[in-house]
Structure formats: C-alpha cells, structure tokens
Amino acid sequence: MNGKAEIGRDDLSRFFDELLEPQRFADYGPNGLQVEGVETVGRVAFAVSATRDSVLRAAADGAHALVVHHGLFWKFHGARPLTGPFGRRVLPLVVHRVNLFAYHLPLDAHPRLGNAATLGRGVGLTELQPFGDHQGMPTGCKGLLPDPVAAEELQRRLAEVLQRPVLRSLPGEGRPIRSVGIITGAASGEWVQAERDGLDAFVTGELREHDWHEAAEAGIHLFAGGHHATERLGVRALMAEVEARLGLECRFLDSDNPA
C-alpha cells in the first residue's frame, strides 16, 4: 500500500458516518471508531472481522486504519478485560496506533454498498427495496429476477458470486423463483419475513437446523452461503468507495473462514 492521499482520522470518521448513517440503527455494539490511532490516515486495510490475524496483517502493512464489519465490542459480551485472546486482538492496534473502524448493521443494510444489496445485484436482482425489520430498521433487501429461475440456477449464481458452496432447503413443490429477500450473516430465522412478504426465496449466511426444515415446509426456498462469505461483499464495496472518493490506498484482507 503506497498511496499518497491522506485524510484526518476525524474527517474519515465523518465520511463513514455520513455515508452509512449508523445513528439510525439500534445495533449490537458501537459503530464507528472503536480504537483510536494516528491522526492522519493514508493507508487503509479492510476486513470482515477484527481478528488477531487481520489486526496483525494491517499493522504489518503499515495501515493507519483497519475498517471492518465485525468490530471488537458487543453488548452480549459485556465488560471484558484486555487479557487472553481478546487482549491479543486489541493490544497490537494500540501498540501500532492503528485506528479501528467498525460498521455492522449500517453496512448490512446500505441500499448501494450493503452486503445484501451487493449480493442481490450480483445474482441479477432488480427493483431492490429495503427488507427486514430490526427495531424499525431494514437490515437487507428484496428484489425481482427478470425471469423466474429454478432453485438450482439461483444456487449456482450465489455460489459463483460468493465463491463457495451454498446450502439450499428443498420445498416440496419446487416452484420457480422470481422474488428474493436477502439478509446476510446470521439471519436464517428471517425466512418468516420472506413468507410474510410473499417472496419465493430467502438468502442468508448461517443456517440453523430447524430453519432449514421449517422454511422448506412453508414452501420457501432457503439458501445459506456462509456468514463470512456473504459479508465480504459490503466491506469490499465500501473499500472501493473510499478508493474512488478519497483516493486512499486500500487493501482487502480476506481470511480462510468457511463458517
């Protein structure tokens, strides 16, 4: 990463906040700047999650900021000491003065850059609209395929975009698919929203055992492409936005995560 453009840390924070509007979401943890580092940012690393691997790779690359979808702090964890594996994630950021930015639900739901929207466009959905309801805010999108396709064809398209195998439930009647709802990550229970909206199919990341059965019994095609794989797309779209609009040198740090 050898970019020459630079931006102030606080200006970069404002850029993300104006673009993603995190204040609109009741999220599971804080969005925005989670760990404060250097004041001037010229090199930015992007990753799905703030893992020890992504933190160390960002520091080794000389990144001034690491931008992720899954940050370090979650309400369900409560207060945590900086010891053990968690401490070994946090402390390298502090030592190397790498800023950590995290955007969770805002990056799932963004109508242009979001995980759901980018996946939807990737498989050919049109007429995208907000979909899902987390405390009054959508967390995904829904849309239409130009022509109905067999479930096997949508499964193939998803696997091509995600670059990994995709699981599929098997409704008995196997009707063609035209309307699709998408909420990435751990949202398999939201197939009920797809049923409520009269959609043919629902796409997510993780798949709970009982949702596979219940969606099939309700006549909803349920597809699961992996939590990590379905949430690489928004991070990469956000990286492209930063490159195009701010001119910063950026790099995506992927991980070998089959989950």
Angstrom distances, CA of residue 131 to CA of 24, 192, 194, 225: 15, 12, 9, 18
Q: At 221, give phi and psi (nearest 5°).
A: -70, 120
Provide the residue-wise pLDDT of the chain in tens; the chain has 259 residues: 445 899 999 999 999 999 999 999 999 999 999 999 999 999 999 999 999 999 999 999 999 999 999 999 999 999 999 999 999 999 999 999 999 999 999 999 999 999 999 999 999 999 999 999 999 999 999 999 999 999 999 999 999 999 999 999 976 566 899 999 999 999 999 999 999 999 999 999 999 999 999 999 998 999 999 999 999 999 999 999 999 999 999 999 999 898 8
Domains of the chain, earliest start first: 7-103+231-252 (3.40.1390.30), 108-230 (3.40.1390.30)
Quote the CA–CA distance of 181 and 131 in Å, as a whole number: 7
Q: Max CA-CA distance within the chain?
A: 58
pTM confidence score: 0.95
CB hemisphere CA count around 32 (13 angstroms): 14
Helix (H) or strand (E) holding 129: strand 126-131
Written as six digits, the tokens of 44 are 């930015």
Contact assessment for residue 106 and residue 221, using Cβ atoms and an 8 Å cutoff: no
179: Cα separation from own chain's centroid? 22
pLDDT at 2: 47
